[in-house]
């Protein structure tokens, strides 16, 4: 009877004549909006901390970097008796460029060129380069330790036999090799032809601007420790944080291909192996006036100090050790004390 009178009173106060049959409906609306309902105490909501996997994806700008055109030269001397390349040929480690006096001359890619012939007992970074080259060509030297021992000598002899430099020749000669730079190349124009005479320093061919790297515009401080990868157009390759580039030749070619004629685009950096963390709703985490952060197991327990590891607008990532623990999901609604003191 009280609600009905209240409803009629509201109508009268507004100057509206309400038929008796509608008085109950008006009263119902008033009852639904009654401040008595909003004053009802909230019940504690307690849940269990679950685990989640994060890849920490970050979108980055990427670009295609080209190497300068080069003109590789030979250290051999004699007559070109065979040619293995021509305009448009792709040249990489192991490509047989030509034969001089019937002996093979082989291309190689390396951070720097060999500067001397390599034989047993020599040591140095150039020896390590030669060991890597021989192994890639199928002549195993063992570890590329920069020390030419018995295994390296055996590999050199096998190489020389295969390319026409003698059965027991234990010296890897510069005349048998051509350094084409730090990346594979494509021949744009030949400088020598079948039957030509060559000597040390003769340029063999010219290259166009070759693909060198995919550059990455990485915002400082966005990447955590761990192994990361870069994905561009569905092509994924390992990425070293802070390096700002991917240089693996196959990956560079494939990523550049996804861009078509464009030289810039967008890629995604993410953890190669997802990180497993504890995850809670943002509502469960409290930061008090002192800057301390904590969670509560229930409405009447002491706080537990936590250190947020990341998250989003709806969740906060915490230490994995908390998975399985109870957590109060609505502390701001059911606790008067929201300080983290004593945690």
Q: What confidence score (pLDDT) does residue 32 get?
A: 41
Number of compact structural domains in the chain: 3
- Is residue 198 helix, strand or coil? strand
| Domain closes at, from 174, 207, 240 | 207
Is the same domain home to 48 and 27? no
Q: What confidence score (pLDDT) does residue 39 get?
A: 56
Whether residue 174 is contained in a domain is answered as yes
Q: What confidence score (pLDDT) does residue 31 get?
A: 35
For residue 284, give the nearest of 276, 275, 293 by alpha carbon.
293
CATH number, domain with residue 155: 1.10.101.10
Is the same domain home to 228 and 190? no
As a residue count, the chain comes to 343
What is d(CA 139, CA 159) in angstroms, rounded to the nearest whole number?
7
Whether residue 290 is contained in a domain is answered as yes
What is d(CA 295, CA 280) in angstroms, rounded to the nearest whole number?
10
What is d(CA 3, CA 39) in angstroms, rounded to the nearest whole number?
19
| Domain closes at, from 162, 182, 207 | 207
pTM of the predicted model, to two decimals? 0.53
Whether residue 73 is contained in a domain is answered as no
Q: What confidence score (pLDDT) does residue 66 get?
A: 86
Is the same domain home to 170 and 139? yes
pLDDT tens sequence across 40-68: 678 999 999 999 999 989 999 999 998 77
Is the same domain home to 343 and 292? yes
Q: What confidence score (pLDDT) does residue 2 get?
A: 38
Which residues of the chain fall below pLDDT 50?
Answer: 1-37
Whether residue 13 is contained in a domain is answered as yes
Residue 28: give the domain boundaries.
2-38
The continuous run of DSSP H or E covering 272 comes out as none
Q: What confidence score (pLDDT) does residue 6 get?
A: 34
């Amino acid at each position: 009877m009280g609600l009905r009178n209240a409803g009629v009173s509201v109508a009268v106060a507004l100057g509206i004549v309400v038929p008796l049959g509608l008085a109950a409906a008006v009263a119902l609306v008033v009852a639904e909006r009654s401040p008595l309902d909003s004053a009802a105490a909230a019940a504690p909501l307690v849940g269990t901390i679950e685990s989640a996997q994060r890849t920490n994806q970050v979108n980055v700008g990427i670009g295609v970097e080209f190497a300068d055109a080069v003109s590789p030269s030979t250290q051999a001397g004699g007559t070109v008796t065979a040619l293995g390349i021509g305009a448009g040929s792709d040249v990489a480690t192991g490509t047989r460029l030509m034969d001089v006096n019937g002996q093979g001359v082989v291309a190689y890619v390396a951070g720097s060129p060999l500067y001397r012939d390599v034989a047993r007992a020599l040591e140095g970074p150039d020896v390590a380069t030669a060991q890597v080259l021989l192994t890639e060509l199928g002549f195993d030297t063992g570890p590329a330790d920069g020390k030419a021992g018995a295994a390296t000598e055996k590999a050199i002899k096998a190489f020389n036999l295969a390319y026409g430099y003698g059965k027991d020749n234990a010296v890897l000669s510069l005349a048998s090799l051509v350094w084409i730079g730090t990346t594979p190349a494509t021949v744009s124009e030949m400088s020598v032809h079948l039957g030509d005479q060559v000597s040390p320093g003769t340029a063999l061919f010219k290259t166009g601007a070759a693909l060198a790297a995919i550059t990455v515009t990485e915002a400082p401080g966005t990447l955590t420790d761990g192994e990361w990868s870069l994905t561009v157009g569905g092509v994924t390759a390992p990425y070293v944080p802070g390096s700002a580039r991917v240089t693996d030749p196959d990956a560079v070619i494939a990523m550049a291909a996804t861009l078509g004629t464009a030289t810039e685009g967008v890629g995604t950096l993410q953890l190669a192996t997802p990180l497993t963390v504890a995850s809670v709703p943002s509502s469960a985490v409290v930061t008090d006036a002192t800057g301390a952060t904590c969670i509560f197991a229930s409405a009447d327990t002491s706080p537990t100090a936590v250190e947020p590891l990341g998250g989003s607008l709806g969740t906060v990532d915490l230490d994995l050790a908390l998975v399985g623990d109870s957590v109060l999901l609505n502390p701001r609604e059911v606790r008067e004390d929201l300080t983290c003191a004593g945690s």
